[in-house]
Amino acid sequence: MKSVNGRGCARGLAVGALLGLVTYDLSFTASTGRATWPATVVLLTGLAAILWPVGRRPPWLTPQLRTAVPAALSLSYSAGAILAGRTELFGPGEVVILLTLTFIAVRHCPQRWAVVCGGLDGLALLALSARYFHSVTDDNLYLVTALGLVLVGSTAGLAGYLRSLDYRRTVTITETRRAERLAIAADLHDFVAHHVTGILVQTQVARMMATTRPEDLDPVLAAIERASTEALASMRRTVGVLRDTAPDAADRRPVGDLAAVADLVDGFASPVQKVTLRRDPMLPDDLPHEVQAAAFRVVQEALTNVRRHAADAAEVTVGLRCSGRRLEVTVRDDGRGGTQLPSAAHGGGFGLVGLKERVTALGGDLRAGPREGAGWEVRAVFPAGWF
């Protein structure tokens, strides 16, 4: 609140100072007995261009129009005085207005117009000295022109620097949003695809058991119900992140850690597949959240691929262990590639690609390939420094 009040106070002081300078210009011109209407038109047009409230500006009042019209009027005033051979005064109010318009043009005009409008405002400022000094031999003409060049250059340089910061900020925001969208897409793949694939496999098992072992069907149906509930919960959390911009939105994002791997393994087991978790007792529980989440994703994606591509696997082993100061995550199966899933459920091959990006982003390494004899192995290693 204090910073807002401070900005409002500073803005009020700046507006008051500008109005004071314009009043001084007009009163001084009137005191010399010269016509005041040309200066009045130029100054009031410049004031309107600068002080018109943002929320009340009509669509046609673009930055290029706001900066070009006052400059054109000032140039016309100067050109008329030069052609008529009369001396016309200029004051600090007009100088400040033209410098402010130069700043606005360089920082806020579209790229193609920034140079044009900024150059027009700068030229109008430099023409003020020619309005007063008509002789090219007058040393004061060159002194005032040099001072004007310094002022215009400094103002345009500051505006250009701030414009570059605005651009960098825009690029950073765009890249951050893009990265977030990719992360959310990866979450959708990791969680929802895992649960939906499990539902599909369990449904196939239920159809077979309905005719052979109907008395054992209830645990399978319960697993389908649990997987469906988890899939819906994951969807709600992910959509909540997309729709909610509250500070705690990230807390509802689908997460996973090493403790959740045990539940993941238990939920994966089926009557025809044995899944074993081998966790190193020396493995600490306080690993960084990013590492735990990535390890969870490795196990999740690997188990999902077992369901998709190795449904005939009888045994699946998940390993979590310390190797030196490294965390090693392995998922092995003994399948031979047999699967009864429809071709549309095999996935598009993006799971391991996204997984590798997650692991390598943490400085780790991911390898996936066939084992000796039969089966498949996925192995991820996270380097030293995380412990």
pLDDT at 245: 43
Q: Say what percent of the chain tops pLDDT 70.
A: 79
Q: How does pLDDT run across 321-347, given as a tens digit for each residue?
A: 887 778 899 999 888 765 555 544 444
Give the residue with greater pLDDT, 28 vs 357. 28
Is residue 36 within 8 Å of residue 29, measured between CB atoms? yes
pLDDT at 142: 79
Q: Mean pLDDT lowest for which of 88-97, 135-144, 276-285, 378-387?
A: 135-144
Tokens, residue 261: 């791997």
Q: What is the location of CATH 3.30.565.10 in the chain? A: 257-387
Amino acid at site 55: G
pLDDT at 54: 83
Kindly tell me the burial class for residue 270, based on how many C-beta atoms sit within 10 Å of its own C-beta (0-12, 13-18, 19 or more): middle
Mean per-residue pLDDT, 284-312 = 81
Is residue 87 within 8 Å of residue 113, measured between CB atoms? no
pLDDT at 251: 43
pLDDT at 340: 52
Q: How does pLDDT run across 305-322, given as a tens digit for each residue?
A: 888 777 778 888 999 988
Mean per-residue pLDDT, 264-280 = 82
pTM over 0.75: no
Q: Mean pLDDT lowest for which of 154-158, 249-253, 260-264?
A: 249-253
3-state secondary structure of 109: coil
The string of DSSP letters for 120-175 reads HHHHHHHHHHHHH---TT-HHHHHHHHHHHHHHHHHHHHHHHHHHHHHHHHHHHHH
376, pLDDT greater than 90: no
Mean per-residue pLDDT, 249-276 = 71
pLDDT at 192: 67
Report the chain's mean pLDDT, rounded to a whole number.
Answer: 79
| Tokens 């052979």, located at residue | 212
194, pLDDT greater than 50: yes
Mean per-residue pLDDT, 134-152 = 77
Domain 257-387 has CATH 3.30.70.270: no
149, pLDDT greater than 50: yes
| Tokens 């020396």, located at residue | 282
pLDDT at 346: 47
